[in-house]
Amino acid sequence: MTEGGAAASSAAPNRARRSKSILLILILLTGAVALAGATQNWVDIRLIPGEAAVDRLGVTGQKLNPSLSPIALAALAAALVLTIAGPAFRRVLGVLVLLFGAGIATLGINAQSAPRDAARGAVASATGLTGEAQYTVVASVVTTPWPLIVTVCGIVLALAGLAVVLVSGRWKSGGRKYEAQSARSARGPSEDGPDRIADWDALSDGDDPTRAP
């Protein structure tokens, strides 16, 4: 094999490793931010003084959308499983991560587009009023930056899931290198010369089979 061919062969595994690391970091980071965002105030509600026991309500993302934390936790779990999953299961996980991201983004968008509707439950708990009667005691409803932050996290998470579906087939399976080395050790020296197939697999993984241990 020429030097150029060897360089190209070793560059491919390096690119695969980089893509895996980047995508796993993105999934972990966005999932963690979304999980943290669930505990933050998404909506600030000011009530007309004297109409309720309190004049101001802060509604967290988890209160608005109880499914937010479970979805974010599922995304984090998917990132961990991706580190050891085989090629076929990686694509399944990529689709799941895409769906998790879409769900998180949808929750964030809903909170931004209709915060008053999203906060009906919190107002009802504080005032005992439901339906249109709530409008008589609510002075203002304002969203914090958190719904937007979580929406962006959801979009990035969905894109990362799509990328996993597209590129994870080129990732090296965990343990493949060591399984190949164990198999070569178990066979021992061959009278027919070196195992060309095993050497080619090692070279594809970025190892030099001609290098002395």
Domain positions in the chain? 3-174, 175-213
pLDDT in tens, 64-74: 889 999 999 99
Residue 15 pLDDT grade (very low, low, confident, very high; cuts 50, 70, 90): confident
Q: pLDDT of 167-204, one tens digit each?
A: 877 776 654 444 444 445 545 544 444 455 555 555 55
C-beta pairs of 47-56 under 8 Å, 24+ apart in sequence: 47/123, 47/126, 47/127, 47/137, 47/138, 47/139, 48/136, 48/137, 48/138, 48/139, 51/127, 51/136, 51/137, 52/126, 52/127, 52/137, 53/126, 54/126
CATH number of 3-174: 1.20.140
